[in-house]
Structure 1
Amino acid sequence: MRSVQLLAATALAIALSVTSAAAQKKYDIGATDTEIKIGQTVPFSGPAYAGIGKTQAAYMKMINDQGGINGRKLNLIQYDDAYSPPKAVEQVRKLVEGDEVLFTFQIIGTPSNAAVQKYLNAKKVPQLLASTGASRFSDPQNAPWTIAFNPNYQSEGRIYAKYILANHPNAKIGIFYQNDDLGRDYITGLKSGLGDKAASMIVAEVSYELTDPTVDSQIVKLKAAGVDLLYDASTPKFAAQAIRKVADLDWHPVHILDINASPVSATLKPAGLDISKGIISTNYGKDPADPQWKDDPGVKAYFAFMDKYYPEGDKLNTVNTYGYSTAELLIQVLKQCGDNLTRENLMKQVTSLNKFVPSLALPGMSITTGPNDYRINKQMQMMKFNGERWELFGPIIEDTGPAG
């Protein structure tokens, strides 16, 4: 009789423990005890961003080799969208409805993210760490299931305004901008940061279209307006044209270049390294080509990762450090989720980061988000081009403007 009671008690204890364990685990489609399905579109056949997706895939392999996240392997499903919005829509639908991923990760580019944002929010599928800085992707009121990784263009604009007010308070500012959401967001941020002084300091604004063969006439107009600080909210091709025309005119304004147009290989080399000297921009991550980081633990770990998991990749290309940093942040979010792998909890965790310090962040920088503040990177440091590479200078500047 006693043995029967003992067996019954043991059976009850096991049942209770199983029930308790089951109660602690919560899953949505795309997550199980053994796997987390992640969906991504990458322009493998488009512009030079393929390295981002390749680095991220290599990072996931490293994590799986280490045992995964809380015992679950990461299944990163990647499709080529060729940097085409219609293709991105088609592939994201396939990821959500066919592959049944838990969430999308790091869809690359403003056009592709814009094309799928409404669909993903209607489906309540997290659009995590989107690769864009347009303000519509950091707007919890209107798109609660979308959060971007890149610095918000308006935040970056306000950071430039802080720098200008502190260092060039009497500047005559001329704005050169791409006539789309990117350019307009940079203008909004600058004017917001300058406040009451915007009207008197900004003396000219000229735009260009993506279809324009040249921007020479725009640069001529800005010089003629008496501009002595050029605020350049453009992309690499047009920034390179602007730099060359400024040099042709023997014009020497303070030249501030947005982060999108700051890559040396894409903008400054085509323009001419010698005539790019003195240009100012901003950054939030360590450049692996900068000798000051050669003994940095984070950079050393990145180099070791590249050697083992992506040996064919260019270790000094910041496209690859970007892929590495975004994957690292995703892993942090998934760790915070624990055994509650629901879409709702994913959004809760990514919007409750508390002073997380990425391994490639500039010293003194960390990531803090909130349910009403979806900005991942809102701290930056100014940098100046010395003719060969960018050199950081000045303090960390944080955007304290509106969050949404």
Structure 2
Amino acid sequence: MTTRHALAAAGALMLVASHSADAQKQYGPGASDTEVKIGQTMPYSGPASAYGTQGRIEEAYYAMINAKGGVNGRKITMISLDDAYSPPKTVEQTRRLVEQDEVLAIVGTIGTPTNSATQKYLNLKKVPQLFISTGAAKWDDPKNFPWTTQLYPPYQMEGMIFAKYLLKNRPNARLGVFSQNDDAGKDYVKGLKDGLGESARTMIVKEVTYEVSEPTIDSQIVTLKAAGVDTLFTMATPKFGAQAIRKVHELGWKPLNFVVSVSSSIKGVMEPAGLEASKDVLTALAFKVPTDPNWESAADVKEFKEFLAKWYPRGDIADGSNVTGYISAYMTAKIIEMCGDNLSRDNLLKQATTLNKVVAPLLLPGISISTRPDRYAPYTQMQIAKFDGRSWVPEGPIFNTEAPGE
């Protein structure tokens, strides 16, 4: 072979290799060799603004990742817009993210009503609606809404876990159920009743609901006390969860009070309610409480504290929403990494729905995240914990809704 022929052959091989490498790279909207652009809406204002810190800590996490060179050499750009926890506003802002900003995916948006408002739109557009911060049962519906996945512990599961706790520890409870009158509230109550089984008919003596538009829920708490309730299931968002705890205390009433995990933030709920008023309240947890002395020497808690100090110093370590946001950002970066050079929307969804026992930072020992194409719910286990006036203290073993007869 002449030198000229050899050079031509080598050039042809390089061209083929180049085309082959390019062919392996697949990019959806918002993705390129240098960037992955994602979007979300957050309640930075409005009745659920206490959750807004979740978006801010996610932005800080991606800033940290980008400072280290990004994921697979690509920077993560997150566009986080205020929806004021108003579904019409969520629709408006989500359309902007998809149609104008052309994000690869919507990731981590908070709220059942807000995500419900955009679910059909995003699924019709085949835009991944991933790791949304709500535990409603409707998100685990891969048949009808394959582009929507959650990251928050399922509400029905949490209700079932408290039911297991009651049947084991307080089978003769006179149970009062206080819940938000929406899909999230109904999911929690369904899980509770399913977990109690036949006992629900005798244990539940009173059920009351509230609307998020109400200024106060004092009358509902008074009604429950008057019904002779000695055990209370409180399903409320932070503002109303704090009001409920405070009113119970003001009445001099001492029921066993279980407050669902969405209202378990020490900074967002227990402190506004009053630390003394909040003592002995129960909740269910999937995540470590970074202020708990038991976790002081845990490597992931140390890393979380260092992260807050450097990247999000205004973030309160006692605010559970910061833990939720930190895990959400970690998992988002992880599935982007798992995509490699195939950053198509299809592949991003595939990675999010085939997770196998991922141990994310700040998960309680024994709890991991798993998803399947036929089951999107990420958790099956939670830990009952009691507030001691400073932190959440574990109560008994971890409950697993997939463990028969537990």
TM-score (norm 2): 0.92
Q: 1:147 to 1:93 in 2, by over 3 A?
A: same
User: Cα offset for 1:394?
Assistant: 1.5
Between stretches 101-110 and 261-270, larger displacement belongs to 261-270
Q: 1:316 to 1:249 in 2, by over 3 A?
A: closer
Return the letter of the residue paired with 1:292.
N
Question: SS state of the match for residue 56, structure 1?
Answer: helix
Equivalences for residues 268-283 of structure 1 within 5 A: 268-283=270-285
Return the letter of the residue paired with 2:377.
R
Task: Give a deviation string over 1:319-375, Cα, whole Å, max 9, x none.
Answer: 222221110011111111111111111111111111110111111211111112111
Task: Give a deviation string over 1:41-85, Cα, whole Å, max 9, x none.
Answer: 223344123322221111111111222111222122222223332
Equivalences for residues 332-343 of structure 1 within 5 A: 332-343=334-345
Structure 2 residue aligned with 1:29: 29
Task: Give a deviation string over 1:226-276, Cα, whole Å, max 9, x none.
Answer: 333211122333333333443344433221111122223333333332232
Where does the alignment leave 5 or more consecutive residues of structure 1 unmatched? none
Question: SS state of the match for residue 50, structure 2?
Answer: coil
Equivalences for residues 3-402 of structure 1 within 5 A: 3-46=3-46, 47-400=49-402
**Aligned counterparts of 2:145 and 2:377: Cα–Cα separation in 1:** 13
**Aligned counterparts of 1:258 and 1:165: Cα–Cα separation in 2:** 17
Asked whether the equivalents of residues 135 and 154 of structure 2 are also in contact (C-alpha less than 8 Å), the reply is: yes
Question: SS state of the match for residue 193, structure 2?
Answer: helix
Q: 1:221 to 1:76 in 2, by over 3 A?
A: closer
**Aligned counterparts of 2:245 and 2:12: Cα–Cα separation in 1:** 76
Return the letter of the residue paired with 1:186.
Y
Between stretches 388-397 and 122-131, larger displacement belongs to 388-397
Asked whether the equivalents of residues 258 and 281 of structure 1 are also in contact (C-alpha less than 8 Å), the reply is: yes
User: Cα offset for 1:399?
Assistant: 2.7
Asked whether the equivalents of residues 265 and 319 of structure 2 are also in contact (C-alpha less than 8 Å), the reply is: no
Question: SS state of the match for residue 48, structure 1?
Answer: helix
Return the letter of the residue paired with 2:358.
F
Asked whether the equivalents of residues 179 and 209 of structure 1 are also in contact (C-alpha less than 8 Å), the reply is: yes
Return the letter of the residue paired with 1:58.
A
**Aligned counterparts of 1:243 and 1:78: Cα–Cα separation in 2:** 32
Task: Give a deviation string over 1:173-197, Cα, whole Å, max 9, x none.
Answer: 2211121112111111111112232
Asked whether the equivalents of residues 289 and 391 of structure 2 are also in contact (C-alpha less than 8 Å), the reply is: no
**Aligned counterparts of 1:317 and 1:220: Cα–Cα separation in 2:** 29
User: Cα offset for 1:296?
Assistant: 1.2
User: Cα offset for 1:100?
Assistant: 1.1
Return the letter of the residue paired with 1:288.
P
**Aligned counterparts of 2:258 and 2:316: Cα–Cα separation in 1:** 28
Return the letter of the residue paired with 2:31.
A
Q: 1:61 to 1:251 in 2, by over 3 A?
A: closer
User: Cα offset for 1:202?
Assistant: 2.0
Question: SS state of the match for residue 32, structure 2?
Answer: coil
Q: 1:81 to 1:167 in 2, by over 3 A?
A: same
**Aligned counterparts of 1:392 and 1:316: Cα–Cα separation in 2:** 16
Task: Give a deviation string over 1:23-53, Cα, whole Å, max 9, x none.
Answer: 3222222212222111122233441233222
Return the letter of the residue paired with 1:238.
F
User: Cα offset for 1:117?
Assistant: 1.3
Return the letter of the residue paired with 1:108.
I
**Aligned counterparts of 2:41 and 2:345: Cα–Cα separation in 1:** 19
Q: 1:243 to 1:75 in 2, by over 3 A?
A: closer
Q: 1:245 to 1:44 in 2, by over 3 A?
A: closer
The CA RMSD over aligned residues, in Å, is 2.0
**Aligned counterparts of 2:265 and 2:317: Cα–Cα separation in 1:** 15
**Aligned counterparts of 1:147 and 1:71: Cα–Cα separation in 2:** 26
Asked whether the equivalents of residues 122 and 147 of structure 2 are also in contact (C-alpha less than 8 Å), the reply is: yes
**Aligned counterparts of 1:77 and 1:266: Cα–Cα separation in 2:** 25
**Aligned counterparts of 2:345 and 2:379: Cα–Cα separation in 1:** 22
Q: 1:218 to 1:320 in 2, by over 3 A?
A: closer
Task: Give a deviation string over 1:153-172, Cα, whole Å, max 9, x none.
Answer: 11111111111122122323
**Aligned counterparts of 1:243 and 1:316: Cα–Cα separation in 2:** 18
Question: SS state of the match for residue 49, structure 1?
Answer: helix
Q: 1:243 to 1:56 in 2, by over 3 A?
A: closer
Where does the alignment leave 5 or more consecutive residues of structure 2 unmatched? none
Asked whether the equivalents of residues 288 and 318 of structure 1 are also in contact (C-alpha less than 8 Å), the reply is: no
Task: Give a deviation string over 1:123-176, Cα, whole Å, max 9, x none.
Answer: 000011112222222322222111122111111111111111221223232211
Return the letter of the residue paired with 2:289.
D
**Aligned counterparts of 1:8 and 1:99: Cα–Cα separation in 2:** 44
